[in-house]
Amino acid sequence: MSYRIADAHAHIFPDKIAQKAAQSIGGFYSMPMEHVGSVEALLASGQQIGVEKYLVFSTATKPEQAASINRFIHDACAAHPAFIGLGTLHPLQRDAVEEVERIAGLGLLGVKLHPDFQQFCVDDRQMYPVYDAMAQHRLWLLCHSGDKRYSFSNPGRLARVARDFPQLRIIAPHFGGWSEWEEAARTLGLPNVYYDTSSSLLWLSEQDVRRIFRSLPPSRFFFGTDFPMWDHGKELDRLLGLGLGEETTRAILWDNFERAFLSP
Protein backbone atom coordinates (compact mmCIF):
# COMPACT_ATOMS: atom_id res chain seq x y z
CA MET A 1 0.00 0.00 0.00
CA SER A 2 1.43 3.38 -1.00
CA TYR A 3 0.53 6.69 0.64
CA ARG A 4 1.06 10.35 -0.05
CA ILE A 5 3.12 11.75 2.82
CA ALA A 6 3.69 15.14 4.43
CA ASP A 7 6.09 15.71 7.33
CA ALA A 8 4.56 18.34 9.61
CA HIS A 9 7.46 18.58 12.07
CA ALA A 10 10.95 19.19 10.67
CA HIS A 11 13.71 21.42 12.07
CA ILE A 12 16.23 22.90 9.64
CA PHE A 13 19.32 25.03 10.19
CA PRO A 14 21.91 26.79 8.04
CA ASP A 15 24.65 24.43 6.93
CA LYS A 16 27.35 26.07 9.05
CA ILE A 17 25.49 25.35 12.30
CA ALA A 18 23.39 22.31 11.32
CA GLN A 19 25.53 19.74 13.10
CA LYS A 20 26.02 21.84 16.23
CA ALA A 21 22.31 22.65 16.43
CA ALA A 22 21.35 19.00 16.11
CA GLN A 23 23.81 18.04 18.83
CA SER A 24 22.38 20.74 21.09
CA ILE A 25 18.85 19.34 20.72
CA GLY A 26 20.13 15.82 21.35
CA GLY A 27 21.93 17.00 24.47
CA PHE A 28 18.79 18.68 25.81
CA TYR A 29 16.87 15.40 25.54
CA SER A 30 19.81 13.07 26.23
CA MET A 31 19.10 11.24 22.98
CA PRO A 32 21.34 10.73 19.94
CA MET A 33 20.23 12.47 16.75
CA GLU A 34 19.81 10.32 13.66
CA HIS A 35 20.70 13.12 11.22
CA VAL A 36 22.34 16.50 10.83
CA GLY A 37 19.76 19.25 10.65
CA SER A 38 20.57 20.63 7.20
CA VAL A 39 18.17 21.17 4.32
CA GLU A 40 19.98 18.59 2.20
CA ALA A 41 19.87 15.99 4.98
CA LEU A 42 16.14 16.57 5.45
CA LEU A 43 15.39 16.13 1.76
CA ALA A 44 17.54 13.00 1.56
CA SER A 45 15.86 11.42 4.59
CA GLY A 46 12.37 12.31 3.37
CA GLN A 47 13.09 10.99 -0.10
CA GLN A 48 13.34 7.49 1.36
CA ILE A 49 9.59 7.42 1.85
CA GLY A 50 8.46 9.90 -0.80
CA VAL A 51 7.64 12.90 1.37
CA GLU A 52 5.96 15.56 -0.80
CA LYS A 53 5.62 18.42 1.68
CA TYR A 54 7.44 19.50 4.82
CA LEU A 55 6.49 21.96 7.55
CA VAL A 56 9.89 23.46 8.43
CA PHE A 57 11.01 25.77 11.22
CA SER A 58 13.58 26.50 13.88
CA THR A 59 13.43 28.03 17.36
CA ALA A 60 15.03 31.26 18.55
CA THR A 61 16.84 30.63 21.82
CA LYS A 62 17.85 34.32 22.06
CA PRO A 63 15.80 37.39 21.13
CA GLU A 64 18.34 38.58 18.59
CA GLN A 65 18.14 35.32 16.62
CA ALA A 66 14.52 35.61 15.51
CA ALA A 67 14.90 37.92 12.51
CA SER A 68 17.75 35.94 10.92
CA ILE A 69 15.99 32.60 11.52
CA ASN A 70 12.82 33.89 9.90
CA ARG A 71 14.74 35.11 6.87
CA PHE A 72 16.49 31.75 6.61
CA ILE A 73 13.20 29.85 6.72
CA HIS A 74 11.70 32.21 4.12
CA ASP A 75 14.68 31.71 1.81
CA ALA A 76 14.62 27.93 2.26
CA CYS A 77 10.94 27.84 1.33
CA ALA A 78 11.58 30.03 -1.72
CA ALA A 79 14.31 27.64 -2.86
CA HIS A 80 12.37 24.44 -2.15
CA PRO A 81 8.68 24.34 -3.16
CA ALA A 82 8.20 21.26 -0.96
CA PHE A 83 8.71 23.44 2.12
CA ILE A 84 6.04 25.30 4.06
CA GLY A 85 7.60 27.57 6.65
CA LEU A 86 6.87 28.70 10.17
CA GLY A 87 8.68 31.61 11.74
CA THR A 88 9.81 32.02 15.32
CA LEU A 89 10.15 34.70 17.94
CA HIS A 90 11.50 34.91 21.46
CA PRO A 91 9.27 35.86 24.41
CA LEU A 92 11.88 38.34 25.64
CA GLN A 93 11.78 40.31 22.40
CA ARG A 94 10.56 43.82 23.07
CA ASP A 95 9.11 43.85 19.56
CA ALA A 96 7.54 40.37 19.65
CA VAL A 97 4.19 41.61 18.33
CA GLU A 98 5.96 43.39 15.49
CA GLU A 99 7.87 40.16 14.79
CA VAL A 100 4.52 38.43 14.28
CA GLU A 101 3.71 41.05 11.66
CA ARG A 102 7.07 40.51 9.97
CA ILE A 103 6.50 36.75 9.94
CA ALA A 104 3.15 37.25 8.26
CA GLY A 105 4.75 39.65 5.79
CA LEU A 106 7.32 37.02 4.82
CA GLY A 107 4.51 34.68 3.86
CA LEU A 108 5.28 32.21 6.64
CA LEU A 109 2.21 30.41 7.94
CA GLY A 110 2.81 30.44 11.65
CA VAL A 111 5.13 30.66 14.64
CA LYS A 112 7.14 27.92 16.34
CA LEU A 113 7.70 28.29 20.08
CA HIS A 114 9.47 25.93 22.47
CA PRO A 115 8.72 26.99 26.06
CA ASP A 116 11.24 24.55 27.55
CA PHE A 117 14.11 25.79 25.35
CA GLN A 118 13.02 29.42 25.73
CA GLN A 119 12.16 29.08 29.42
CA PHE A 120 8.77 30.74 29.60
CA CYS A 121 5.35 29.49 30.62
CA VAL A 122 3.21 29.18 27.55
CA ASP A 123 0.20 30.69 29.37
CA ASP A 124 2.18 33.68 30.68
CA ARG A 125 -0.15 36.67 30.27
CA GLN A 126 2.71 38.70 28.82
CA MET A 127 2.45 36.45 25.74
CA TYR A 128 -1.23 37.17 25.20
CA PRO A 129 -0.69 40.19 22.90
CA VAL A 130 1.51 37.94 20.76
CA TYR A 131 -1.16 35.25 20.55
CA ASP A 132 -3.75 37.88 19.75
CA ALA A 133 -1.62 39.21 16.90
CA MET A 134 -1.13 35.67 15.59
CA ALA A 135 -4.86 35.03 15.64
CA GLN A 136 -5.53 38.30 13.82
CA HIS A 137 -3.03 37.36 11.10
CA ARG A 138 -4.48 33.83 10.83
CA LEU A 139 -1.12 32.31 11.75
CA TRP A 140 -0.70 28.86 13.25
CA LEU A 141 1.00 28.38 16.60
CA LEU A 142 3.15 25.27 16.74
CA CYS A 143 4.13 25.07 20.39
CA HIS A 144 6.14 22.27 21.95
CA SER A 145 3.92 20.60 24.52
CA GLY A 146 4.88 18.39 27.42
CA ASP A 147 8.02 17.48 29.31
CA LYS A 148 7.88 15.71 32.65
CA ARG A 149 11.05 17.58 33.70
CA TYR A 150 9.51 21.05 33.41
CA SER A 151 6.20 22.88 33.73
CA PHE A 152 6.79 25.54 31.05
CA SER A 153 5.05 23.58 28.28
CA ASN A 154 2.58 21.66 30.40
CA PRO A 155 -0.38 20.54 28.21
CA GLY A 156 -2.79 22.14 30.65
CA ARG A 157 -1.08 25.49 30.15
CA LEU A 158 -1.38 25.19 26.38
CA ALA A 159 -5.04 24.23 26.78
CA ARG A 160 -5.60 27.48 28.67
CA VAL A 161 -4.18 29.44 25.73
CA ALA A 162 -6.39 27.49 23.32
CA ARG A 163 -9.49 28.30 25.37
CA ASP A 164 -8.56 31.99 25.74
CA PHE A 165 -7.87 32.32 21.99
CA PRO A 166 -10.46 30.15 20.25
CA GLN A 167 -9.61 31.67 16.85
CA LEU A 168 -5.93 30.71 17.18
CA ARG A 169 -5.11 27.44 15.44
CA ILE A 170 -2.64 25.53 17.61
CA ILE A 171 -0.55 22.43 16.93
CA ALA A 172 0.32 20.53 20.10
CA PRO A 173 3.01 18.15 18.82
CA HIS A 174 4.15 14.81 20.18
CA PHE A 175 0.61 13.39 20.52
CA GLY A 176 -0.33 16.52 22.42
CA GLY A 177 2.39 16.38 25.06
CA TRP A 178 5.73 14.58 25.05
CA SER A 179 6.02 12.30 28.10
CA GLU A 180 2.76 13.84 29.38
CA TRP A 181 0.37 11.97 27.11
CA GLU A 182 -2.32 11.29 29.70
CA GLU A 183 -2.61 14.94 30.65
CA ALA A 184 -2.61 15.94 26.98
CA ALA A 185 -5.51 13.61 26.27
CA ARG A 186 -7.33 14.93 29.30
CA THR A 187 -6.93 18.65 28.54
CA LEU A 188 -6.22 19.30 24.84
CA GLY A 189 -9.26 17.88 23.09
CA LEU A 190 -10.32 21.35 21.97
CA PRO A 191 -11.74 22.41 18.59
CA ASN A 192 -8.84 24.72 17.67
CA VAL A 193 -6.06 22.28 18.62
CA TYR A 194 -4.29 19.92 16.24
CA TYR A 195 -1.58 17.35 16.96
CA ASP A 196 1.30 15.47 15.37
CA THR A 197 2.95 12.09 15.82
CA SER A 198 6.53 13.27 16.26
CA SER A 199 8.85 11.97 18.98
CA SER A 200 6.20 9.70 20.45
CA LEU A 201 5.86 6.56 18.34
CA LEU A 202 8.89 4.92 19.94
CA TRP A 203 7.15 4.93 23.32
CA LEU A 204 3.44 4.55 22.54
CA SER A 205 1.78 1.19 21.87
CA GLU A 206 -1.20 0.61 19.61
CA GLN A 207 -3.37 0.50 22.73
CA ASP A 208 -1.93 3.81 23.94
CA VAL A 209 -2.63 5.49 20.60
CA ARG A 210 -6.18 4.19 20.37
CA ARG A 211 -6.82 5.41 23.91
CA ILE A 212 -5.46 8.87 23.02
CA PHE A 213 -7.64 8.93 19.89
CA ARG A 214 -10.73 8.66 22.08
CA SER A 215 -9.94 12.18 23.34
CA LEU A 216 -7.81 13.69 20.55
CA PRO A 217 -9.44 12.94 17.19
CA PRO A 218 -7.23 11.38 14.48
CA SER A 219 -8.84 13.76 11.97
CA ARG A 220 -6.63 16.52 13.47
CA PHE A 221 -3.35 14.55 13.56
CA PHE A 222 -0.40 15.14 11.24
CA PHE A 223 2.54 12.82 10.64
CA GLY A 224 5.74 14.40 11.95
CA THR A 225 9.30 13.15 12.37
CA ASP A 226 10.97 15.80 14.56
CA PHE A 227 13.83 15.67 12.07
CA PRO A 228 16.81 15.59 12.62
CA MET A 229 16.05 13.60 15.75
CA TRP A 230 14.43 10.70 13.89
CA ASP A 231 14.73 9.07 10.49
CA HIS A 232 11.78 9.21 8.10
CA GLY A 233 11.86 5.54 7.21
CA LYS A 234 11.89 4.42 10.81
CA GLU A 235 9.11 6.81 11.84
CA LEU A 236 6.90 5.65 8.98
CA ASP A 237 7.47 2.02 9.93
CA ARG A 238 6.48 2.81 13.51
CA LEU A 239 3.27 4.47 12.39
CA LEU A 240 2.33 1.68 10.00
CA GLY A 241 3.13 -0.86 12.72
CA LEU A 242 0.27 0.49 14.84
CA GLY A 243 -2.29 -1.10 12.53
CA LEU A 244 -4.60 1.91 12.58
CA GLY A 245 -6.36 1.01 9.35
CA GLU A 246 -6.00 2.46 5.87
CA GLU A 247 -8.40 5.40 6.28
CA THR A 248 -6.85 6.68 9.51
CA THR A 249 -3.31 6.10 8.28
CA ARG A 250 -3.99 7.94 5.03
CA ALA A 251 -5.54 10.84 6.92
CA ILE A 252 -2.56 11.19 9.26
CA LEU A 253 0.06 10.88 6.54
CA TRP A 254 -1.49 13.29 4.05
CA ASP A 255 -5.20 14.15 4.05
CA ASN A 256 -5.28 16.13 7.31
CA PHE A 257 -2.18 18.10 6.28
CA GLU A 258 -3.60 18.81 2.84
CA ARG A 259 -6.83 20.11 4.32
CA ALA A 260 -5.00 22.32 6.84
CA PHE A 261 -2.17 23.73 4.75
CA LEU A 262 -2.76 23.13 1.04
CA SER A 263 -6.46 23.67 0.50
CA PRO A 264 -7.73 27.18 -0.41
- When pLDDT is cut at 50, 70 and 90, the band that residue 28 belongs to is confident
CA 261 to chain centre: 13
Q: How much of the chain exceeds pLDDT 70, in percent?
A: 100
> How far is 264 from 260, CA to CA, in rounded Å?
9
Is the whole-model pTM more than 0.75?
yes
Structural domains of the chain ordered from first start: 5-262 (3.20.20.140)
Mean per-residue pLDDT for 178-191? Answer: 98
pLDDT at 205 over 90: yes
Q: Give the residue among 4, 1, 35, 2 at the shortest CA–CA distance from 251.
A: 4
pLDDT tens digits along 126-183? 999 999 999 999 999 999 999 999 999 999 999 999 999 999 999 999 999 999 999 9
Q: What is the 3-state secondary structure (H, E, C) of 225-247?
A: CCECCCCHHHHHHHHHCCCCCHH
Instruction: Report the pLDDT averaged over residues 26-46.
Output: 88
pLDDT of residue 1: 67
Mean pLDDT of 58-65: 96
User: Using alpha carbons only, how large is the chain's radius of gyration in Å?
Assistant: 17
Predicted pLDDT at 33: 79
Confidence of residue 192 (pLDDT cuts 50, 70, 90): very high
* pLDDT value at 187 more than 90: yes
Q: Contacts for 75-80 with beta carbons within 8 Å, 24 or more apart? A: 76/12, 76/39, 77/107, 77/108, 80/39, 80/43
Q: What is the mean pLDDT of the chain?
A: 96
DSSP-derived secondary structure for the chain:
----EEEEEEE---HHHHHHHHHHHHHHHT---SS---HHHHHHHHHTTTEEEEEEE---SSGGGHHHHHHHHHHHHHH-TTEEE-EE--TT-TTHHHHHHHHHHTT--EEEE-HHHHT--TT-GGGHHHHHHHHHTT-EEEE----TT-STT-HHHHHHHHHH-TTSEEEETTTTSTT-HHHHHHH---TTEEEE-TTTTTT--HHHHHHHHTTS-GGGEE----BTSS-HHHHHHHHHTT---HHHHHIIIIIHHIIIII--
With a pLDDT cut of 90, the percent of the chain lying above it is: 91
State how far the Cα of 204 lies from the Cα of 180, in Å rounded to an integer.
12
- For 220, phi and psi rounded to 5 degrees? -120, 20
- The predicted model gives 211-225 an average pLDDT of 98
CA 185 to chain centre: 17
User: Residue 33 in contact with residue 23, Cβ under 8 Å?
Assistant: yes
